[in-house]
Amino acid sequence: MKKLLLSFAFVGLCGFVGAQKPIVQTYFTADPAPMVYNDTVYLYTSHDEDSTVNNFFTMYDWRCYSSTDMVNWTDHGAVASLKNIAWFDKNNGAWAPQCIARNGKFYLYVPIHGGGISVLVGDSPTGPFRDVLGKRLIDSEHIWNDIDPTIFVDDDGQAYLYWGNPVLRYVKLNNDMISYDKSIGKNGIVSLEMTGEAFGEAVDRDGKPRTKYVEGPWFYKRNGIYYMVYAAAGIPEYIAYSTATSPVGPWTYKGFIMERAPKLAFTNHSGIIDYKGNSYFFYHSESLTGGGGFRRSVCLEQFKYNADGSIPLIVPTAEGVKESLSALNPYKRVEAETMAWSEGLKTAKDNSKGIYVTKINNGDYIKVSSVDFGKGATTFEASLASAAKGGQIEIRLNSTDGELLGTLDVKNTKGANNWAVQSCKVKAAKGIHDLYLVFKGGEGDLFNFDWWKFSK
């Protein structure tokens, strides 16, 4: 599928009517793992390819997105892939990751379906990440079930890595974050006792007792309470959680956080963070056009804990997070791949420019939320490249057919990666508005788009 052609009606914030609003539209993303670092949220995801192989999960790399307002997200592209893992000789199986910062480094724990859990190390949140071990980190007899790692460093500096399907296991990581204490459990690996009291009572397809826990754990601590959030209840998966007063339990089952709803995938995977005084719940659905159980999309809801620290039942919404935490400054360079919503686009990477927007066709658009024009702008400029006849960028407020501030005629730059800054005059917009960049032109790909800014 070359492009995601969206045919739903858009209202208000351009959310889907009757379905969840994915925060990424250019690719299918799943298994959200948010990390707060330096006042920015970095969201690591797995990546479902547009076309599946053998009608199964087709996943080659891990992607990263960032935001400071929880509505506009910047695409950092694929920050690691199975090609970075020299000891693994297959090209599929890049499942749910999680990243954590420590010791001035960034540690990306990645499960490989059929290959266990590896750890990649980078110098920045967006990589590049390196396989420093040259072998799997978790070396057990359960490599096919060694998936979905979740990482947490406690207040005393001890780091814990939990993972597993259909049972929950953990190791106590050493300070280097790439090895673990092998003096506990079975060669360092502790398998939890899966009891109904700890993880909820359920029965399997054969009527045998089991727990509600399935996979996809998310481990964190808040106000002295340890939380273990996980996919639960079989297929289709709900999200449930348990709590403890110790990082290794005993755990007590607390109930569901998210139940089955229309357009949720048959799998689910969550991540929870607090950011700028708010609490956020990440999950994935199949609600993007062309989506399905093997083509999922990350979604986001804001919520509030109950007074006792318990998590309420969260209902997926069409709007997701409605309001930006801060206004965007259009007088500084804004990457074109920063967007609250888009239609019909992809992103790609240029060795010199980094990530840029591509596959731009007539009628496609980018929405950027809560842009603060202040007392008004006079000029719009953008870095563009076109090997075709070019096209136009209509600069509009509040909707795709909203007030037209100006139109930039994109000239042919004689190459799809031959970049040039082009500009146009605009009517002075004042105050805070949603900005729509609507692309017009003939048939086929029109141009590539790297960044934009306004001038006063």
Which member of 154, 181, 197, 204 is catalytic? 197
What Å distances lie between residue 427 and 138, 379, 396, 455, CA to CA? 59, 8, 10, 11
Q: Which of 109, 192, 118 is nearest to 149 (CA)?
A: 109
Q: Which residue has the tokens 């086929």?
A: 444
> Is the Cβ–Cβ distance between 207 and 199 less than 8 Å?
no
Using CA atoms, how far residue 58 sits from 27, 102, 297, in Å, is 13, 31, 14
CA-closest candidate to residue 200, choices 191, 210, 192: 210
Q: Which residues pair with 365 in a beta bridge?
A: 343, 438
Question: Is 197 tagged catalytic?
Answer: yes
d(CA 44, CA 207) in angstroms, rounded, equals 37
Q: Out of 31, 215, 237, 337, pick the active-site residue.
A: 31
Residues 6+ away with beta carbon under 8 Å from 360: 344, 345, 391, 439, 445, 446, 447, 448, 449
Whether 39 is a known active-site residue: answer no
| Helix-then-strand count for the chain, H and E | 1, 33
DSSP string computed for 397-433? ESSTTS-EEEEEEEPP-SSTT--EEEEEE-----SEE
**Structure tokens given for 50:** 């547009």
DSSP state, residue 319: S
Point out which residues pair with 397 in neighbouring strands: 435
Three-state DSSP class for 82?
helix
Give the residue among 38, 51, 69 at the shortest CA–CA distance from 2. 51
In this structure, the dihedral spanned by the alpha carbons of residues 300, 302, 306 and 308, taken in order and rounded to 10 degrees, is 70
How far apart are the C-alpha atoms of 392 and 439, rounded to whole Å? Answer: 6
Rg (the chain; Cα; Å)? 23
Beta-ladder partners of 424 = 380
- At residue 337, the 3 state secondary structure works out as coil
Q: Which residues contact 242 (CB under 8 A, 6 or more apart)?
A: 198, 199, 200, 227, 228, 230, 251, 252, 253, 254
Residues with catalytic function: 31, 197
